[in-house]
């Protein structure tokens, strides 16, 4: 018989509050066209993107995160001192150590919380949400702050016609806390490492440091391969998340996929046969692809504009570099 005392967590977990931060600078497609041979019509038809936000030097990964976190904490109706864990998903924090989560935790006024970063690309928010749910239910933290944040403008090759128009900057955050009812469904997640070359950093940091290459590393991708994978394979994952939650597409109120590309979003809606009453997040048009930040930013905008409301049932799915993915059904705060 085990002598270990069982965990004393909550029966379930829920998203209690959401917050977002978009940099003040809005960048239209015309700016992108200064460095690539393309057109506004081509960019819109290929991606659905009209504008994106790029951060100023002052709008750092930390600064954007603190702004988004403050809004999420206020929305949740708790204080920073009640936060027991801070999880930050990002690929654009350029310090290997310490984790940016520790700096953010200090700046928001949390008191000695668990704090760590994760690197799961565009699926990072889903990974963080799952970890936060586990912490709340396990009892190691009562409230956990999950942040997705990127400054992808720092990792964009503005001369790469395939990706120069895709990426934007921003931060989105949620607070996960205890619940007496299941309001974050089972996560369907995984990876396909044999496809890792389809989305990647152009060269390792040490190649740049050693002078092997002169051009700063950037994010690149095989567009058609990513499109096919996202449309066909991620629709299956999304359906698995619905099945795991015990609901059908008819039970959904909102669909919040990773904001990678409007064509991918529309194709997934069609493949999943979502009813017309389901509100679909299309934040990519004005925000671009913000990787780990895209789902919480889209969630925050839907709630702020009244397109979605508290208590709605939403399917969220993130997918990207790795290739990795994570999907679950949640109740909106």
| Catalytic residue numbers, as ranges | 122, 258, 289
Q: CB-side exposure of 298: number of CA atoms within 13 Å?
A: 31
**Sign of the CA dihedral with 282 first, then 288, 294, and 298 last:** negative
Structure tokens at 248: 């059908």
What b/e string do you get for 245-279 counting C-beta neighbours within 10 Å, with b at 16 or more? beeebeebbbbbbbbbbbbbbebbbeebebeeebb
* 109: helix, strand or coil: coil
Give one DSSP letter per residue of 281-328, joined into a string. Answer: --THHHH-B-GGGHHHHHHHHHHHTTSS-TT-EEEEEEEETTTEEEEE
Please classify residue 45 by burial: count the beta carbons closer than 10 Å to its beta carbon, then call 0-12 exposed, 13-18 middle and 19+ buried.
exposed
Residue 269's H or E segment, with its range, is helix 262-272
* 191: helix, strand or coil: strand
Structure tokens at 225: 């391969």
d(CA 139, CA 112): 16
Q: Read off φ and ψ for residue 47, nearest 5 degrees.
A: -130, -20
Residues near 267 by Cβ (< 8 Å), separated by ≥ 6? Answer: 231, 235
d(CA 43, CA 164): 10
């Amino acid at each position: 018989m085990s002598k270990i005392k069982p965990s004393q967590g909550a029966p379930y977990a829920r998203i209690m509050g959401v917050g977002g931060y978009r940099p003040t600078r809005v960048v239209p497609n015309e700016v992108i066209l200064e460095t690539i041979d393309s057109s506004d019509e081509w960019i819109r038809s290929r991606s659905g993107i009209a504008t994106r936000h790029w951060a100023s030097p002052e709008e750092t990964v930390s600064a954007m995160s603190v702004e988004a976190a403050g809004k999420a904490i206020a929305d949740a109706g708790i204080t920073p001192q009640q936060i027991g864990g801070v999880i930050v998903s990002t690929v654009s924090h350029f310090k290997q150590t310490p984790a940016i989560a520790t700096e953010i935790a200090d700046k928001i006024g949390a008191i000695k919380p668990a704090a760590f970063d994760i690197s799961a690309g565009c699926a990072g928010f889903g990974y963080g949400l799952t970890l936060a749910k586990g912490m709340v239910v396990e009892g190691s933290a009562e409230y956990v702050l999950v942040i997705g944040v990127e400054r992808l403008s720092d990792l964009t090759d503005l001369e790469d016609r395939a990706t120069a128009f895709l990426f934007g900057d921003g931060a989105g955050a949620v607070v996960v806390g205890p619940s007496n009812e299941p309001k974050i469904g089972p996560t369907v997640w995984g990876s396909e490492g044999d496809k890792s070359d389809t989305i990647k950093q152009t060269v390792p940091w040490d190649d740049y440091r050693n002078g092997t290459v002169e051009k700063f590393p950037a994010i690149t991708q095989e567009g058609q391969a990513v499109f096919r994978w996202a449309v066909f394979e991620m629709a299956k994952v999304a359906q698995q998340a619905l099945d795991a939650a015990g609901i059908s597409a008819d039970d959904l109120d909102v669909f919040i996929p990773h904001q990678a590309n409007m064509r991918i979003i529309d194709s997934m809606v069609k493949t999943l046969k979502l009813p017309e009453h389901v509100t679909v997040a299309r934040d990519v048009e004005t925000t671009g692809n913000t990787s780990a930040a895209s789902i919480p930013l889209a969630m925050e905008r839907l709630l702020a504009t009244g397109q979605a409301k508290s208590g709605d049932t939403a399917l969220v799915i993130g997918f990207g570099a790795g290739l990795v993915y994570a999907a679950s059904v949640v109740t909106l705060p």
